[in-house]
Structure 1
Amino acid sequence: MALIKFPTKTVNTDSVNPFVNSVFDNLFNDSFITDRLVTRVPAVNITETQDSFSIELAAPGLQKSDFKINVDKNVLTISVEKKDEAVVEEKLYSKKEYSYTSFTRSFSLPDSVNYSNIDASYIDGVLAVTVGKKEEAIIAKRLIEVK
């Protein structure tokens, strides 16, 4: 199988109409548009130990009060909605951007979860949610003898 690299621009595109190309390049390289096209969902690490599940969500720049954690049936939902408006008077703006951060992550919980044993902490930009398991779901470790 051969890999063929296609050129990103045709040969005489800039000579035909350079104004059109520069307008489209500026439009699609503008941070206002590209920031809104990129989804801003925090990365998550999920681990399992013998007696609990751990969900770590990377969300720097937030406060503990920004998070809402809900459990509905077997779905754990973590959501944030934060709006920052920096108002500076006596300036003529050609471009003004508001910072608005919101996201929602939902996780399906297995039947082995103890719903009364769910804890959350937010330290150094990482939200850590610990979900305990039911006693009957915790598997006792033992050494099995080979016969």
Structure 2
Amino acid sequence: MSVIKRTRESFPALSNVLDDFFSRELYNWGLSNFSSGGSTMPAVNIKETADNFEVEMAAPGMNKEDFKVQLDGNTLSISAEQEYRNESNGNYTRKEFSYQAFQRTIMLPKDVVDEDKINARYENGLLRLTIPKREEVKKKGPRNISID
């Protein structure tokens, strides 16, 4: 009788399925939008400076026309829809199309944002929003007080 050592390489298909499940599905379940294309919710970075809030969203492969950005009170909503169709004429044995949509909602501090000066731009797969603060809520530097 000989001893057979089984390694991960002995069952590559099963190993890949388990690796994919444990590395992606288990740890990123909150980012999944449950699409069959395996897409995820775009990642967002938010930075606060003395004058602005800066929001960056990674959404490669989209066009600026796909996005809808709204501010309602202190609620910022960023949504997008993209539909891709592989059109072909005549008889086809396979036709594929996909649809991707998402919405992210971010709560900003109440009564802080200067709504009229918000700037948004999309380039190289990155949506960037600059949301200025109102003048009266900006942090002011230290002030010297004279003593009488």
Instruction: Answer yes or no: same fold by TM over 0.5.
Output: yes
Letter in 2 for 1:58: A
Task: State percent identity of aligned pairs.
Answer: 38
Question: Residue deviations 1:30-89, cap 9 Å, x none?
Answer: xxxx85285621000000111000000000111111111111122111110111111224
Residue-pair matches, total: 118
Change (3 A) 1:132 1:42: same
Normalising by structure 1, we get a TM-score of: 0.67
Alignment-derived partner of residue 93 in structure 2: 92
1:98-125 Cα deviation digits (max 9, x unpaired): 1211100111111211112211000110
Give the letter for the 2:70 counterpart. N
Q: Unaligned regions of 5+ residues in structure 1, if any? A: 1-21
RMSD over aligned Cα atoms: 3.1
SS of residue in 1 equivalent to 2:93: coil
Q: Corresponding residue for 1:107?
A: 106
Moved over 4 A (4+): none
Equivalents in 1 of 2:143, 2:72: separation in Å?
A: 38
Amino acid at match of 1:114: D
Unaligned 5+ runs, structure 2: 1-13, 22-33
What is the TM-score of this pair, normalised by structure 2?
A: 0.67
Alignment of 1:12-91 (within 5 A): 36=36, 40-89=40-89, 90-91=91-92
| Aligned-partner SS, 1:40 | coil
SS of 1:36's equivalent in the other structure is: coil
State the distance in 1 between where 2:113 and 2:70 align.
Answer: 15
Letter of the 1:81 counterpart: E
**Partner SS for 1:116:** helix
State the 1:91 CA deviation.
3.4
